[in-house]
Each structure stands twice: as structure tokens, then as C-alpha cells.
Amino acid sequence: MNESTSKEKVLKAIRDAQIEAERQQKVIDVDMNSPMYPPIQEPLLKHLFRVFSRNNSFFIYCRDEFQVGEEIKKILYQYRYETIFTNDPDIEYLFVEEGIPFINYDHGLRKADVAVTFCECAAIRSGTIALSSRQSTGRTAHTIPEAHFVIVFSDQLVNDISSVYPYLQRKYHGKAPSMLTFVTGASRTDAIQGEMTYGVNGSTRLFVFYVDG
């Protein structure tokens, strides 16, 4: 009786060891290096226009920062936006050069129709803008005003959202921001009686100004 019981224990131990070996082999064989998505085949600008438009965003191509100023003035006139907030010194300089009035004082964001910011980077596959706590307005630029204008430079493009954190690790020399916010289009939700509603949790309109240079 004891001999039979001992034999069963040995066989069970062998089976358990085989199962564990197979499980570890499956984990080892997982390919963690190959890209998750196929490469984007269409031209970059065509893809950017399509993916941002799909997200209910407005994509505006600009040759340089001064064209950004011209395009912003057109949109301000078209939508009758009057109060523009920014507290980024580089954007303030651009606005002064272009004669665009703005406010930059504390709590001014709450009175603004539009917030104008840079971004940390943009994921081209999904048309997602990354904002962070390192920026002067953090995530509030997208949550309070009716419209959010984001300026994106060509060297800020990354392939997808999984590339954002490595990009920021390199940018900030291993000390990435403590908070990231991902913005994919204008604020929208279908939590209210199942109907798609815009602007409940953030800006109603997102304008992306892409600077190619």
C-alpha cells in the first residue's frame, strides 16, 4: 500500500514538473520584440489628416510657426472665439509677433474660449496627443475651455501610444513626467442616455497645428 502511494507521488511530481516546464517554455517563446501593428503604408500627411479627422479633430498643416499664427487668426475669426489663453513663453512670443491678443494670468484659463499649448508628442497611428505635468498647463488646457489648439512639430511624432513613455524617458533623461494625459479628439461620451455628447468632460473642439519643419 505504501509502495503504491509513493509511486503515485513520484508520478504526480513528474507530471507537475512537465506542466511547469511547458508553461515556462510558452512564456519564453512569446515574441516581445516584433511590432504589434503593421507599418503604415500611406503617405504621412495623408495618414495624419485621415486619423485626426476620424477622431473629430481638425488637422491643419503649417510650413512654420508663423503660418501657425496665420491659421489661428483665421479660426478665431471663423468661430468667433474672443478670449485666448496661453502661458507658454514661446507661444506668447508668437502671438505678440502676429498681433493675437491673449491672456496668461492665474485662473485666466477659466475665462478663456481657447487654450493654446504645445504637446509632449503625438502618436500617429491613433491620432493621440500626449500632454504631461511638465507642461505649464498640464491637462487642464483640454478640460476647461471650449476649444484646445495644440501645436505639434514633426520631430514630436511617435508611432503609437506604447512609444510615448520611451520617448519621454529619452527627452527628460530618465525622469519622465509623473502624470500623462492622452487626448484623442474632442471630448465625447455616450454615458448620457446612450447618446453621443461632446464637450461634457473637456473641450468641444480640438485643433491640431502640425508644423512640418
**Segment 16-37, tens digit of pLDDT:** 777 776 666 655 555 666 666 7
φ/ψ region of 73 (left if φ > 0, alpha if ψ in -120 to 50, else beta) reads: alpha
Element (H, E) at 47: helix 44-54
| Nearest-angstrom CA–CA distance, 50 and 59 | 9
Nearest to 81 by CA among 54, 112, 43, 44: 112
Find out whether 64 and 92 touch, Cβ atoms under 8 Å: no
Query: For the chain, what percent of residues have pLDDT higher than 90?
Result: 57
What average pLDDT does the segment 158-182 reach?
A: 92
Query: Whole-model pTM?
Result: 0.78
**Segment 83-137, tens digit of pLDDT:** 999 999 999 999 999 999 999 987 888 899 999 999 999 999 999 999 998 888 7
**Segment 135-151, tens digit of pLDDT:** 887 667 788 899 999 99
pLDDT of residue 39: 79
Domains assigned to the chain:
40-211 (3.40.50.10420)
33-63 b/e with 16+ CB inside 10 Å = b? Answer: eeeeeeeeeeeeeeebbebbeebbbbbbebe
